[in-house]
Amino acid sequence: MKNTADIPAILSSEEYIARTEGGHGACPGCGLALSLRLFAKAMGPDVIMVIPPGCTPVTVMSPKFNAAFTVFVALFGSTAVFASGLKAALTIKGEDETHVVGWGGDGATFDIGFQALSGAAERNDDILYVCCDNEAYQNTGNQRSSATPWGGTTSTNPLPAPKMERKKDITLIMAEHHIPYAATATVAYPHDFMVKVKKAREIKGFRFLHLLAPCPTGWMFPVERTIEMSRLAVEANIFPLFEIQDGTDLTINLEPEGTPVENYLKTQRRYKYLDVLQIREIQRQVDRKWDRLRWLASYDKHGE
């Protein structure tokens, strides 16, 4: 793992969310709540967050949540453009030091807010956009999104009809907007996660982070296994850790041995009824994507 020298500086004891015994409004074992905690620690206090409907507002709207930063709740489709407008207004007021963060779920990012997101990225607006991906519309009852993986069941893809469309490669799609920074991170790798947040914080222009946030409720695994799910996803190359600078300069941050996808799939009841051929198909998809990432990482960027 890169950047290990920075770890002591990153592990501050300061908390920026849920700073009193009131806690937060998320389910037990929520990967999103932990993602928000690590994110806030790495960002520090001078932040305004723009959040669309989803599990995050429910998490932060607990009356005693006590965050160290301001939160606006935007309309579902408009997070990125709301954040862009806010940043422009702050700049006009001379408050250029405040970081504006759009933080959307996968439904709000991959699907419903994608138009606003793509526009803000293309204009290279000076915001950090985070997609906290729990692979379905979890807050309204686990409906499928375009981030739900092939073979996953949800409340709108119940058996015998698991989803048969593949998950969008959102980080690559965003990098193709030629933005200065796009990266993936997940809670089982907090150092990598926080280094990337800090890096994104310091860059001007549009920055995109894709976080995989395991959801015990929707994915149907025991609440104490959230970190394990996150780690297994990375180890099986289902969720590779990488970053892309200026649209082309791709670095793979961790090269796992590539454990069989079955190790990950068998831990979650949403995949319980996959048969051998379907598991083989998922392995094929994951291997192909990993090969492609490695090819992109070795691609000669000097001609760009």
Ligand X SMILES: Cc1ncc(C[n+]2csc(CCOP(=O)(O)OP(=O)(O)O)c2C)c(N)n1
Binding residues for ligand X (CB under 6 A): 53-56, 76, 104-108, 134, 137-140, 145
- What's the one-letter identity of residue 141? G
The binder of Mg ion chosen from 105, 149, 162, 190 (CB under 5 A): 105
Residue 107: CB minimum distance to Mg ion, A: 5
**Residue 216 touches which of Mg ion, ligand X, none (CB < 5 to 8 A by kind)?**
none
Q: Does 134 bind Mg ion (CB under 5 A)?
A: yes
- Using an 8 Å Cβ cutoff, are 184 and 208 in contact? no
49 strand-pairing partners: 71, 101
Q: Of 70 and 140, which CB lies nearer to ligand X in the complex structure?
A: 140
**Residue 25 touches which of Mg ion, ligand X, none (CB < 5 to 8 A by kind)?**
none
The binder of Mg ion chosen from 24, 80, 100, 106 (CB under 5 A): 106
Q: What's the token pair of residue 176?
A: 């193709």
Length of the chain, in residues: 304
Q: Of 253 and 268, which CB lies nearer to ligand X in the complex structure?
A: 268
Q: Of 115 and 140, which CB lies nearer to Mg ion in the complex structure?
A: 140
Q: Of 190 and 214, which CB lies nearer to ligand X in the complex structure?
A: 214
CA dihedral (198, 201, 203, 208) in degrees, to 10, reads 100
Task: Give me the 136-175 binding string for Mg ion, x by CB under 5 A, dash otherwise.
Answer: --x-------------------------------------
Q: Residues with Cβ < 8 Å from 283, sequence gap 6 or more?
A: 260, 261, 262
**Contact range with Mg ion by CB under 5 A, out of 57-65, 78-86, 104-112, 262-270:** 104-112
Q: Of 100 and 136, which CB lies nearer to ligand X in the complex structure?
A: 136
Q: Of 106 and 126, which CB lies nearer to Mg ion in the complex structure?
A: 106
Spatial distance between the Cα atoms of 205 and 175, rounded to a whole number of angstroms: 13
DSSP 86-141: HHHHHHHTT-TTPEEEEEEEHIIIIIITHHHHHHHHHTT-S-EEEEEE-SSBTTTT
Phi and psi at 15, nearest 5°, equal: -110, 140
**Residue 237 touches which of ligand X, Mg ion, none (CB < 5 to 8 A by kind)?**
none
**Residue 76 touches which of Mg ion, ligand X, none (CB < 5 to 8 A by kind)?**
ligand X
Rounded to whole angstroms, what are the CA distances from 11 to 117, 165, 181, 190? 31, 39, 23, 9
Residue 121: CB minimum distance to Mg ion, A: 20
Residue 229: CB minimum distance to ligand X, A: 15
Q: Does 113 bind Mg ion (CB under 5 A)?
A: no
Q: Cis link prior to 160 (omega < 30° from 0)? A: yes
- Using an 8 Å Cβ cutoff, are 273 and 152 in contact? no
Q: Residues with Cβ < 8 Å from 47, sequence gap 6 or more?
A: 40, 69, 70, 98, 99, 100, 101
Q: Of 151 and 218, which CB lies nearer to Mg ion in the complex structure?
A: 218
Residue 140: CB minimum distance to ligand X, A: 4
- What's the one-letter identity of residue 232? L
**Contact range with Mg ion by CB under 5 A, out of 97-105, 114-122, 201-209, 227-235:** 97-105
In the complex, the residues that contact Mg ion under the rule CB under 5 A are: 105-106, 134, 138
